[in-house]
Structure 1
Amino acid sequence: MSIANNPVGIDDFLESIKPVLGIEQDDETRMIGIYGIGGIGKSTVAIALYNEYADSFQGSSFLANVKETSKLPGGLVQVQENLLFEILGDRSLKLFNADFGISVINHRLQYKRVLIVIDDVDHRDQLRKLAGDIGWFGCGSRIVITTRDRHLLEAHGIKHSYEMKELNYLQSYQLFCLNAFREPNPPELFGELTSHILDYAKNLPLALIVLGSFLFGKTPKEWESAIARLKSVPNREYNEILKISYDGLDDFDQAIFLDIACFFNGESVDYVMKILDACKFFPDIGIRVLTDKSLVSVDNNNKLWMHDLLREMGREVVRKESPNNPGERSRLWFPDDAIDVLTENLVSSLISSFLFHSWQMHH
């Protein structure tokens, strides 16, 4: 699997998690939890772990963005089918429902030594239907789960866990420089400016990557302007820190960013391109810009993804258009809001037709 550009600290992580993973103990099946705050790099290190060890197992599967996929109609069934396909190679295997999927996973995988990564879990029901018990899998299997919620791991009876910590200063420095300058150290004119930026990014990988990508190619004067903006952020809230990169986009790219944040996370790139092209948003250029600025990514299945923190920042931009009256906002993504607004005839001329797409996705 492809890993994030310019990964820093991955080798240190792989070394520190070895005792928890216990690969050498192939007579024991383990579930391992990796937990930590949003944006700290759980998915990145899970991909690195998967790439490092997948070939050591009879079968392997990386289930990405489980939280978001499970929100879609039939989403968990789709994830179950992907799990079985990646390990068994049988695309014709179709599941009637999630309960049937549980039975098939248990029956077909209980004698296979597998590595499965279940990425970004936020509800125990997702674990019940994807990895309900270690007995579902063959001896020596490793099931790795990433989540923000340590208590979810405890509730599922997971005894082996690893807390993702913030990067240290040197790692933060390297990660930022690789994104801001495409080299491990700043040019002479940018040394002090780099130190100021690091003070605000708080060693959070997502913030370091987004800010670095935003500042790449900009002049010292533009850096000073960005630092002045950061100084005005109350309590250094991540939403406002990340919003600096959004504010630097042109109108078309901002519109595409907000549409992805509100409606298109996890959708096929081709589908999103078709919709946005019909709206005259020039998505071929826009999505490339967002990708270059690390605001969105495209996975191996050609699906478009935006990090949780970036998506919430985008939705907050829309909410602030009219905090108390959804009918005056440019986009509606909650079906109940859309129905209420339509029922009460409060739709403003600004409301995007995408609200109908959102309604259909949830019904």
Structure 2
Amino acid sequence: MVCEISIQLDRTPLDVAKYPVGIDSQVQVLKRILNLQSKDKVLMVGLWGKGGVGKTTLAKAIFNVVFREFQGSSFLERVRENSNDLVRLQEKLLSEVLLGEKLAIYNVAGGSRLIQDRLCNKKVLIILDDVDNMRQLDALARCCEWFGKGSRIIFTTRNSYLLTSHDVDWNHMYEVKALENGEALELFRKHAFQGNKKIEISSNLVDRVVHYAKGLPLALEVLGSSLYKRGEKEWKSMLQKLADSPCKYINDVLKVSFDGLEDGEKEIFLDIACFFKGQSTKHITKVLEKCGFAGVIIGVKSLIEHSLISEEEGTLQMHDLIQLMGMNIVKEECPNNPGKRSRLWLWDDFLHILSGNAVRLVNV
């Protein structure tokens, strides 16, 4: 008994977020999905959604709520970034679950076998954060049989198809969505003002920044922190800058999903971002097929699965910041000469080069 208490005290919760707005209600939903009352089954659960929407934050929050109900636990953060060394990730997983026990792993296949051998009779909680390919899942959590009864394995990813391919049941998949207006405003104000009452900013400026972020927690946090202790002139200047080009940090995070696409999927995404957002799926598919794209239907499906677009009431929609990311990719093809870019959607740019250059025209 003393040993068990000592082990539990050695396990510490994770730092979740400076201002965990909107997290508690989602944690309650996740607890129901995890079904902790079921002691015999091993469940694999997936959290998916666009970049910057708060998947990692939510995963940390649920980890803190339930990890003491398991014999061992591990939270592997940023798996995608560290997947060039899967052996080290396997070692870290085992070390965390087994509370510091050091095991020598010489290759991925040996590490997979060791995870199975050491954890197959142990009730564990394992969270693999930001996974993006099957190789990572095969090396770290290939199947339920690797873990003891009552274990819970949670994945966070931008790609819902990765979860489906790993046989995660649809009713064990949870889409993390952008914040509603009230929570978005609350999160932004906490970062932008942090209780500071000396600087007064008009509600119109606050609303404009919150509207720009469209509920994306990453954008609300980054923009709010960058405007902390700044006056109205600087707020207006920031909005003017954002109207011309996206915030680099936010843009880079969102662009990770684009970088993971096949070449043909990238072209389809850029056309939707520049020309087709909000139009009917059937119309977009027909136009792109006429433009010579092969596999448009599966390409659009892949974009949905990568959380870059969504299909709503027969139309293809896209978060405004993801659309800006796509447009910025095209602008960066040739920043100073629109005529050398692959796509034109601004009327002024079109008129400027119409007389002298040939461009690809898309009848929308």
- Shorter-chain TM range is 0.5 to 0.7
Alignment of 1:300-311 (within 5 A): none
Task: Tell me, yes or no, if structure 1 residue 85 matches structure 2 residue 95.
Answer: yes
Tell whether the 8 Å contact from 2:31 to 2:62 is kept in structure 1 after alignment.
no
The one-letter code sitting in structure 1 at the alignment partner of 2:20 is P
1:220 is matched with 232
Tell whether the 8 Å contact from 1:106 to 1:137 is kept in structure 2 after alignment.
yes
* Cα distance in 1 between the residues matched to 2:243 and 2:217: 19
Task: Give CA deviations for 1:242-301 in whole Å, capped at 9, x if unaligned.
Answer: 46999xxxxxxxxxxxxxxxxxxxxxxxxxxxxxxxxxxxxxxxxxxxxxxxxxxxxxxx
1:8 is matched with 21
2:354 is matched with none
Query: RMSD value over aligned CA atoms?
Result: 2.6
Label 1:139 to 1:166 Cα distance change in 2 as closer, same or farther (>3 A): same
Task: Tell me, yes or no, if structure 1 residue 39 matches structure 2 residue 45.
Answer: no
* Cα distance in 1 between the residues matched to 2:61 and 2:124: 17
The one-letter code sitting in structure 1 at the alignment partner of 2:26 is F
1:123 is matched with 133
1:270 is matched with none
The one-letter code sitting in structure 1 at the alignment partner of 2:22 is G
* Cα distance in 2 between the residues matched to 1:22 and 1:320: 48
Label 1:171 to 1:89 Cα distance change in 2 as closer, same or farther (>3 A): same
1:134 is matched with 144
2:129 match: secondary structure: strand
Percent of residue pairs bearing the same amino acid type: 42
1:105 is displaced (CA, Å) by 0.5
1:16 is displaced (CA, Å) by 1.7
The one-letter code sitting in structure 2 at the alignment partner of 1:36 is G
1:28 is displaced (CA, Å) by 1.2
Tell whether the 8 Å contact from 2:199 to 2:231 is kept in structure 1 after alignment.
no
Task: Give CA deviations for 1:174-199 in whole Å, capped at 9, x if unaligned.
Answer: 11011100149996533221001011
With normalisation by structure 2, the TM-score equals 0.63
* Cα distance in 2 between the residues matched to 1:10 and 1:184: 24
* Cα distance in 2 between the residues matched to 1:108 and 1:221: 60
2:62 is matched with 49
1:58 is matched with 71
2:104 match: secondary structure: coil
* Cα distance in 2 between the residues matched to 1:96 and 1:14: 38
Q: How many residues align structurally?
A: 246
The one-letter code sitting in structure 1 at the alignment partner of 2:90 is Q
2:222 is matched with 210
Label 1:185 to 1:70 Cα distance change in 2 as closer, same or farther (>3 A): farther
Equivalent residue for 1:166, pick from 157, 160, 178: 178
Equivalent residue for 1:147, pick from 148, 157, 169: 157
Task: Give CA deviations for 1:16-53 in whole Å, capped at 9, x if unaligned.
Answer: 22221111112211000000000000001000011111
* Cα distance in 2 between the residues matched to 1:157 and 1:18: 20
User: Could you list the runs of 5+ residues in structure 1 that have no partner in the other structure?
Assistant: 234-239, 247-308, 324-363
Tell whether the 8 Å contact from 2:71 to 2:123 is kept in structure 1 after alignment.
yes
Tell whether the 8 Å contact from 1:180 to 1:216 is kept in structure 2 after alignment.
yes
